[in-house]
Amino acid sequence: EVIDPRAYDVDALDEVRAKEFVLAHHYSGTYPAARFRFGLYQRGQLVGVAVFSHPCSDRVLTNVFPAHAATAAVELGRFVLLDEVPGNGETWFLARCFDALREHVVGVVSFSDPIPRTDAHGRVLFPGHIGGIYQAASGRFIGRGARRLLRLLPDGCVFSDRAASKIRKLDQGWRYSVEQLEAAGARPFLGGADTEAARAWLAVELPRVTRPLSHPGNFKYCWAFERRDRRALPAALPYPKRIDGIIGAARAA
């Protein structure tokens, strides 16, 4: 079964509803720094959300669109549809979002994570994906993101470097990050507003309640809306493929 466009609508979505939907249905359990949000509606019922965000590092965007400021492009930070949405619903929804974005930005960068996630009991939280939706939407594959060491909470979600940095510096939002670790089994943080105490607490509790995962880098895709920007994009590489359960990107993976 394929999507019947007559039964679906795409519209801008407010921050509250977008965040609620993403936190309820996206495997990461997190929400990015959103700039644009769109909802997919089936006869008035919200069945999908796309969040276009600004990444932690401007270079994620400026390396792809070097002629523009970082704010001239966006990252597809979260993209999630309910299972009931028929086949090719993802690409149809994504195309409608791109149509709406053209008047605001020059292009989009997105990542697909090919590495499965499990919780502390070995249950699969996320099987990994190579970006088949992005390939169907004619995204340009430009290689991998940076290698990283991830810290996984017992439920398999990533405790981000940004969250750890908030604790070290006691930046805005640090209490929520502390609560995440405490919920995972960390000893209560009793250091108040003392940054030295926060660093010492994190140095002990982070490795105690999280698991390390050496990640080789997510697959990276991009779209430029104008011809002049497409000419300046990084060279296209062969699409990654899944063969016998092993994920590779021709010789370039």
In a 3-state reduction of DSSP, which class is residue 185? coil
- Of the given ranges (1-10, 61-70, 93-102, 138-147), which has the lowest mean pLDDT? 1-10
- pLDDT at position 248, please? 39
Q: Tens digit of pLDDT for each residue in 172-203?
A: 999 999 999 999 999 999 989 999 999 999 99
Is a pLDDT exceeding 90 seen at residue 36? yes
CA dihedral 56, 11, 221, 103 (to 10 degrees): -80
- pLDDT at position 242, please? 67
Strand-pairing partners, residue 242, are: 247
Phi then psi for 109, rounded to 5 degrees? -120, 140
Q: Which residues of 39-71 are buried (b: 16+ CB within 10 A; e: fewer)?
A: bbebeeebbbbbbbbbbeeeebbeebbeebebe
The better pLDDT of the pair 205, 241 is held by 205
Is a pLDDT exceeding 90 seen at residue 27? no
Q: Tens digit of pLDDT for each residue in 127-164?
A: 899 999 999 999 999 999 989 999 999 999 899 998 99
Q: What is the pTM of this model?
A: 0.86
Q: Which residues contact 195 (CB under 8 A, 6 or more apart)?
A: 168, 169, 170
Residue 176 has which token pair?
A: 């929520």
CA angle 68-221-231, nearest 5°? 50
The percent of the chain in helix, strand and coil, each rounded to the nearest 5, is: 30, 30, 40
